Structure 1
């Protein structure tokens, strides 16, 4: 018979995932031990294993939890009755806000997903692709002429390029060392910058020969979409 969970089980597990994400972000997945995670949570190692099977499961839970929360934001915004431009603005603003409180998890997503098993990595990438596709469809709804020439997805990836790497220079408010901008202030700026460029993008001329891309070197590391 399965052992019943305590009333605070979910809260304790959330704390474990948060502390693990912080350690992975600060010193890397491979350099972090389960002893360190247990100490950060003020648990014995035996107690830690009551909540997670091993460090690999910890990484998977952190990564999957992060992208699922992003997908939930997308689903929530898409369910609201908004015009296309208002919907895209809201998606951008809410994503920037979400990242403000998930910088450790996002660093783990960008740097440590490669350590997951293939099925776990594909699960993360599958959620990421759904998020990107939702953004791309909204971009195409704002400017329909982009879709026939397949520009809605590349422009979406440029947008994510702005959002995804903010964690490298824009710190959370509690770590502010004199910076004057917050994520709340940056969110509408990102939207304005993207919309200013979105409507200025020139479409390829009909019949124009596309420029062949430079050959890409194969990498052993599988990159994430977000």
Structure 2
């Protein structure tokens, strides 16, 4: 992962801003290097192509979210606390990186087949890990099993996946407040 302030991070940040505001196709390499205040040579030192830069945006986001989930799972908390922690972490990271998430959601089909395969595998692992937490809570009686665990997970992730469509960082709710409300909603449905 790039360190903030480095040339690589400046390029990524500029690309995220441009891809989020005007789209991948409408953004040229020249615009990225101008916004990052670097040379084309610097961009090509870190990224072979604009596609590689786009993939790095995805990789950084999903790697960070997966690492947060793995850290939470390793705590061995009860199911309700684990669900709350995972959802809170996911909502906060999505809201705090709303432009990256918007680029991710909108431009994901641009990934090549090999990268899509890798992305799907990581996304599936995240989904299945969260699903196992909900299923464990249902099996132990901590959660109601009225709604199948798969449906609960799809609803929870559906809400998070829609954040880039409506969440505004300058809006009335901080990422932490919003995360708490979403976690409360999901947990209320599980009780």
- Give the TM-score, by structure 2 length: 0.89
Q: Hey, what does 1:190 align to over in structure 2?
A: 182
Kept in 1: contact 2:13–2:36 (CA 8 A): no
Between structures 1 and 2, the one with greater helix share: 2
Whole-angstrom CA distance in 1 between matches of 2:66 and 2:190: 23
Equivalent positions of 1:48-87 (< 5 A) are 48-87=43-82
Equivalent positions of 1:191-210 (< 5 A) are 191-199=183-191
Q: Hey, what does 1:42 align to over in structure 2?
A: 37
Q: Hey, what does 2:92 align to over in structure 1?
A: 97
Rg larger in 1 or in 2?
A: 1
Instruction: List gaps (5 residues or longer) in structure 1.
Output: 1-7, 200-226
Q: Hey, what does 1:138 align to over in structure 2?
A: 133
Kept in 1: contact 2:98–2:163 (CA 8 A): no
- How many equivalent residue pairs? 187
Residue 165, structure 1, aligned to residue 157, structure 2 = no
Q: Please identify runs of 4+ aligned residues in structure 1 that moved more than 3 A.
A: none
Q: Taking CA–CA contacts closer than 8 Å with sequence separation of 6 or more, which of the two structures ends up with the larger relative contact order?
A: 2
Q: Hey, what does 1:110 align to over in structure 2?
A: 105
Distance 1:28 1:127, change over 3 A: same
Whole-angstrom CA distance in 1 between matches of 2:167 and 2:92: 12
Kept in 1: contact 2:33–2:39 (CA 8 A): yes
Q: Hey, what does 1:210 align to over in structure 2?
A: none
Kept in 2: contact 1:17–1:58 (CA 8 A): yes
Distance 1:9 1:196, change over 3 A: closer
- Give the TM-score, by structure 1 length: 0.76
Aligned mate of 1:154, from 151, 163, 174: 151
- Greater shift in the superposed pair: 40-49 or 149-158: 149-158
The Cα RMSD (Å) is 2.3
Deviations 1:105-157 (A, max 9, x none): 111221111111100111111111111111111111221279x9992122201
